[in-house]
Structure 1
């Protein structure tokens, strides 16, 4: 029994000695040579990104950015007083021009991609602003909760029925302002084609209202570029006109048609005069002409594809005046490098009819140096097309490149204009999300 006890004590002494030696090794040697765990800094996302799901109640559109910023702060272990201010702005897209703003100007994405979805959403960072965009039939007053105190409303005020809907949205936003759930409201408005937009004046800040900024489509004499900015009509997103990415074929291929015109022909209209000139001179055979007598609000897949083909295969796109000179066709032609031939006439109404707006119509495009062909009468068209016949393919390629580059630059300038106006106004009113 004694022997067993003595052996047990010896064994315990050996175990204790070995453990002590291992502990000393861990402290003095392993900490210097062992592996370390690194926590990589979160990658800053500068472009558009998609939310993980469509669950409106579960998903916080700012949550991921907050985690990223927190991770970056942990890496630096210090707060920099020079760090950029982050402003949060939610855009409620209740007019089709909202898709032009989001997808074409801000270059954001939407989830889901299905254009018939009841709720679509996107999220991106531009400048100092974190943008969240929501659109779709499910976005209705009273059922939409603002994710931030700063909102941009995209509205349609072109006709009476649309104005009624737009007014409901403004009343909803006004209620949120009065209950201190919103601090800042701006509006992007598809205005009247005759520039009769008096209905919105009571809501504007310069008339005692709560709307601090207005981005307004068409050549309104209200434009002052301080709190009321001119905004482009853009492409017909309501007819699913896509974001076009120029490729080599678009730039360099020979196009079989001198010009194109696809549209509705109204009696005693400029469009009727245009077709008359083309047929009289026998030039209609050189152009892609497809006319109809009745306007159709919706495109079929076939008609949209035919229209895109006409733009892609024509060197010029003829753009006669309608109710207003500015039309979707102008921007759509630019997307495909087909030079717009624009009938440069003032239309009836209150758009730019003053000495202060001598560049009207299309003063926004003209101020940006749009490389279009401007004519005052379609009788000038035969001379334009005769000149077109003599141009070499190389000259047309250079002109095509210039047009596409100009349009890309134009959209970039509009993006900067929109962001700067929001940033300046938000910081001026000390509204930081």
Structure 2
């Protein structure tokens, strides 16, 4: 049967419209979600045998060498860590005035508070591998010092019996600390007896069964062996508040009005009487500043200390006659002002060492640029030569003396520190 074209055309249009309406309905009104799943299929890789690497041996050698370098570097860094200087801690208890000379003049440490009459003063400094801490003053009493380390230096006075009794009590206190394992190492800086009678401390030395490892002893004691007993300088009279003098241009270059000076006690039938008579008989007392007193006075007044320091600063030479011992504070105080000490070089009675370098063997060994006399009758000739020295020569001599004294103190600082390090920490 033949379908008319018109009907066929209408049928096609009807089918198209119906399909369009159905499609529109599904797009805009149907809630059905059509999902598509995409499957990824991993292709199987056929087995391939390991390929030969022509550089394999070289890579192994390279990695081995690299590991060796890394190991060597770690060992090098470990050696650096081990070679770094270790710091050690030592505490100093100053129970004698010479402790101030040790701390301020030799070690050049600070003190707080700066008030000299303070009941408690303390300071810290580093010297070599050692961190030192220092405590001094009347308030520093047994059992009330903050002991934060196991190495201790005790500064004591053993010049007379009363001082010996006081020092012995401190030694007994420290001995108890050693016995309780609170303290492991002990050194003593001792102002010894002027006649070198120091037997009272001998039982406390480790070599005699005691606990004191090291002894730094003032005056020419026959005990000095530079192993466990070392000689120490007397220094300036800090107990009279003699200060630390800082050299300046005026101190070095000024014109000093006096050839020499001596302010001190003149004992009956002593060489000091001879000295004063020589000055008077030769008329040199007019060119030298002298003040004599008959009785020794332990403390200076502010005015007497000022006069004494002025005399040192205004004289070319400072006369240093012997007392009970040849070594005296005046020697070091003259050096502080660049005034050349004229030292009576004779042994005094007692048990101090007698040898070719005694007395004053420590200063002589250090090359002290002093003028030594065996008799004060040599003084007029010395002062006559002094008159002929030019100002330029005097200035140069002062400079050399001040440099020597500074170097001497530095030498003692290094020696003290090294002895402490070697004896306290040699097994650390």
Could you say which TM-score interval applies, normalised by the shorter chain?
Answer: 0.7 to 0.9
**1:211 aligns to 2:209 (yes or no):** no
Tell me what 1:373 maps to.
371
| Residue 79 of structure 1, CA deviation | 8.2
Q: TM-score, length-normalised on structure 1?
A: 0.80
Q: Which runs of 4+ in 1 moved over 3 A?
A: none
Residue of structure 2 equivalent to 1:332? 333
SS in 2 for 1:289: strand
Distance 2:88 2:175 in 1: 21
Is 1:122 aligned to residue 123 of structure 2?
yes
Cα distance between partner residues in 2 of 1:219 and 1:133:
27
1:345-360 to 2 correspondences below 5 Å: 345-353=346-354, 357-360=355-358
Q: 1:387 aligns with which of 379, 385, 388?
A: 385
**Structure 2: distance between partners of 1:169 and 1:79:** 42
Give the alignment partner of residue 407 of structure 1, picking from 399, 405, 415: 405
Q: Distance in 2 between matches of 1:213 and 1:313?
A: 40
Q: TM-score, normalised by structure 2?
A: 0.81
Q: Name the structure 2 match of 1:35.
A: none
Describe the superposition over 1:123-160 as per-residue Cα deviations: whole angstroms up to 9, x where unpaired: 11111011100000011122224221000000000000
Partner of 1:342: 343
Task: Provide the rounded CA distance (Å) in 1 between the counterparts of 2:408 and 2:84.
Answer: 30
Q: Is the 8 A contact 1:158 1:193 kept in 2?
A: yes
Distance in 2 (alpha carbons) for counterparts of 1:189 and 1:345 = 23
Q: Deviations over 1:272-295 (max 9, x none)?
A: 110000000000000010111111
Alignment partner, residue 14 of structure 1: none
1:311 maps to which residue? Answer: 312
Looking at structure 2, the residues matched to 79 and 225 of structure 1 have their Cα atoms a distance apart, in angstroms, of 33
Note if contact 1:320-1:343 (Cα within 8 Å) is conserved in structure 2: yes
Equivalent positions of 1:154-173 (< 5 A) are 154-173=155-174
Q: Which residue of 2 aligns with 1:226?
A: 227
Deviations 1:346-396 (A, max 9, x none): 00001113xxx3200000000000000000000000000000011111111
Give, in angstroms, the shift of residue 85 of structure 1: 1.0
Counterpart in the other structure of 1:56: none
Q: Secondary structure at the match of 2:215?
A: strand
1:48-67 to 2 correspondences below 5 Å: none
CA distance in 1 between partners of 2:298 and 2:349 (Å) = 23
SS in 1 for 2:291: strand
Separation (CA, whole Å) in 1 of partners of 2:145 and 2:249: 44
SS of residue paired to 2:425: helix
SS of alignment partner, residue 135 of structure 2: strand
Residue by residue, what CA displacement relative to the aligned partner does 1:44-96 show, whole Å, maximum 9, x if unpaired? xxxxxxxxxxxxxxxxxxxxxxxxxxxxxxxx9x9822221111000000000
C-alpha contact (below 8 Å) 1:311/1:338 kept by paired residues? yes
Distance 1:232 1:151 in 2: 20
Aligned-pair Cα RMSD in Å? 1.4
Q: Which residue of 1 aligns with 2:238?
A: 237
1:86: which partner in 2?
87
* Equivalences, count: 352
1:231-285 Cα shifts (integer Å, max 9, x gaps): 0000000101011011101111110000000001111111111000000000000
* Corresponding residue of 1:323: 324
Task: Report the counterpart of residue 423 of structure 1 in structure 2.
Answer: 421
* Aligned equivalents of 2:195, 2:119: Cα separation in 1: 32
**Matched-pair contact (CA < 8 Å) for 1:141–1:168:** no
**CA–CA separation in structure 1 for the residues paired with 2:203 and 2:145:** 24
Distance 2:151 2:425 in 1: 12
Greater C-alpha radius of gyration? 2
User: Counterpart in 1 of 2:194?
Assistant: 193
- 1-side partners of 2:344 and 2:367: how far apart? 16
Tell me the distance in 2 between the aligned counterparts of 1:311 and 1:426. 40
Q: What aligned pairs does 1:32-51 form with structure 2 within 5 A after superposition?
A: none
> Residues 213-234 of structure 1, C-alpha deviation per residue, up to 9 Å, x if partnerless?
0000000011111111000000
Contact 1:265/1:293 (<8 A) preserved: yes
SS at match of 2:111: coil
SS at match of 2:81: coil
2:296 corresponding residue in structure 1: 295
Name the CA distance, whole Å, in 1 between partners of 2:205 and 2:427. Answer: 15
Taking the aligned partners of 1:112 and 1:86, their CA distance within structure 2 comes to 26
Runs of 5+ unmatched residues, structure 1: 1-75
CA distance in 2, matches of 1:163, 1:141: 16
CA distance in 2, matches of 1:318, 1:185: 38
CA distance in 2, matches of 1:147, 1:240: 30
